[in-house]
Amino acid sequence: MSTKKATSALISVFHKDGLEPIVKKLNNLGVTIYSTGGTEKFIRELGIEVVPVEEVTSYPSILGGRVKTLHPKVFGGILNRQDHEGDVAQLAEFEIPQLDIVIVDLYPFEKTVASGASEQEIIEKIDIGGISLIRAAAKNYKDVLCVSSMEDYSEFLDIISSGNGNTTVAERKRFASKAFNVSSHYDTAIFNYFNQNHDEAVLKISETNGQVLRYGENPHQKGFFFGDFEAMFSKLHGKELSYNNLLDVDAAVNLMNEFRKDDPTFAILKHNNACGLATRDSIHQAYVDALAGDPVSAFGGVLISNVQIDKPTAEEIHNLFCEVVIAPSYSEEALEVLKGKKNRIILIQNEVDLPKTIVRTCLNGVLVQDKDYKTDTVADLKYVTGNEPSSRELEDLIFASKLCKHTKSNTIVLAKNKQLCASGTGQTSRVDALNQAIHKAKSFKFDLNDAVMASDAFFPFPDCVEIAHKSGISSVIQPGGSIKDQLSIDYCNENNIAMVMTGTRHFKH
């Protein structure tokens, strides 16, 4: 494979970390270095000769540094085709130096936005010269190698060191691909900043962190995760997370976000639905009572706590085969116990901002919606029956409603004393969901007398409240909104059942 030896390089970067060994290597290889502003000063302070870009353009940096490299003598040096006689002739005619290497990064736009900076500070971090240089150098990869991120410094240094300044077209093309990844991601971030209110019905998503999974939902499907998993979790132990693990972890995190400020709460999830949930005075008791909700389904599940997991809780967990354990922290003794199973995945959940929208493929396109951030509270409740719920029932109703919101529709959740008794999940009718929940609760010996019922959507008929009443349910929470709400209200009044309505439906498909 033919190679090309570099004789010149343009370096203009915001981040100087890791740049020194590259500059020194280029200097040792006899490469002429051109630079601007702070980068020029950095190189000069290393005792290495550098040519200011202003000497090439005969034009100073203007407008407070907004315009430095936007000049034909810079872009001509990058974009010329060295196998094109006309291009080569024009380089000589206009005294334009050939540029073989371009090392440029971009102003930290995303970090500036995330820092809460003012709009003017954010606008000033929209890079113009840098993005133009990257695109030009990447476009002309046949003759120019473009290094567009400090993350690629190490690989670039290895290439020029092993090749003695020579690079192959395959290497230059690979770096061009990296460069266009950088530029497209940067433009996407800028557009999304300007389109925060979605005035433009346009979807642009860019995730630069990708991970190849063992497989997708099933072994015959390929699977990938795109996102910064390490920012959200510190993985302390265990095997690599699978596609299904990640879905369950996502469901667990979303559910536990409802209970972040509550007393110690523990949840056990399987196939994205909670099979156990309890809030107690201690996390140990919360786990024990969450497991009691369905000790059969808990096998192979994902476990999550809203407080530190201690040794007694870890010892209980250790008796169960589970895929993943998530908590904000662990005691040293608890970690020692949990690490007793080599494949058990142990995660610490870090504080990060989660996406505010949900995206999923649909037909030949994509569906996008806001996340369901509405959490039902006592202040939202409309008391529609003569009998109002007691303070204990109100706590259970809100507890059940939070869980109902995160359970696959159609769903009914039965709870008592801030413990999940059972839920009916993903049923085609609400009656089927209720019957499933009642059957399951009774199979695990739960006493449903004075338990509460939550529904993700309204009751079009009084059949559900009638079935619930006959099983001992004393209080009901539901959105309301059916033209036949009164039928369910009348039944509750006739049978001394308390019912409240939230006015908010929580479908989850």
109 in Cβ contact with 123 (< 8 Å): no
Q: Mapped to the 3 state alphabet, what secondary structure does 107-138 carry?
A: CCHHHHHHCCCCHHHHHHCCCCHHHHHHHHHH
Active-site annotation holds for 439 = no
The one-letter code for the residue type at 453 is M
Q: Nearest to residue 477, comparing CAs of 374, 394, 375, 392?
A: 394
Ordered DSSP codes for 324-378: EEEES-B-HHHHHHHTTSTT-EEEEEP--PPPSEEEEEETTEEEEEE-------G
How is the beta sheet containing 145-147 ordered, strand by strand? 51-52, 32-35, 8-12, 101-104, 145-147
Classified as helix, coil or strand, 308 is: coil
Q: Please list, in sequence order, all residues whose beta carbon lies within 8 angstroms of the beta carbon of residue 63, skipping any fewer than 6 positions away.
A: none
137 in Cβ contact with 179 (< 8 Å): yes
Residue entry with tokens 């493929």 = 361
Give the H/E segment covering residue 277.
Answer: strand 273-279
Rounded distance between C-alpha atoms, residue 20 and residue 437, angstroms? 65
- Residue 28: is the preceding peptide bond cis (ω within 30°)? no
Per annotation, catalytic residue among 73, 139, 185, 237:
139
224 in Cβ contact with 210 (< 8 Å): yes
Residue entry with tokens 């369905």 = 294
Q: Nearest to residue 471, comparing CAs of 505, 502, 437?
A: 437
Rounded distance between C-alpha atoms, residue 219 and residue 487, angstroms? 49
Classified as helix, coil or strand, 293 is: coil
Active-site annotation holds for 406 = no
Per annotation, catalytic residue among 239, 271, 311, 341:
271
Residues labelled as active-site residues:
139, 271
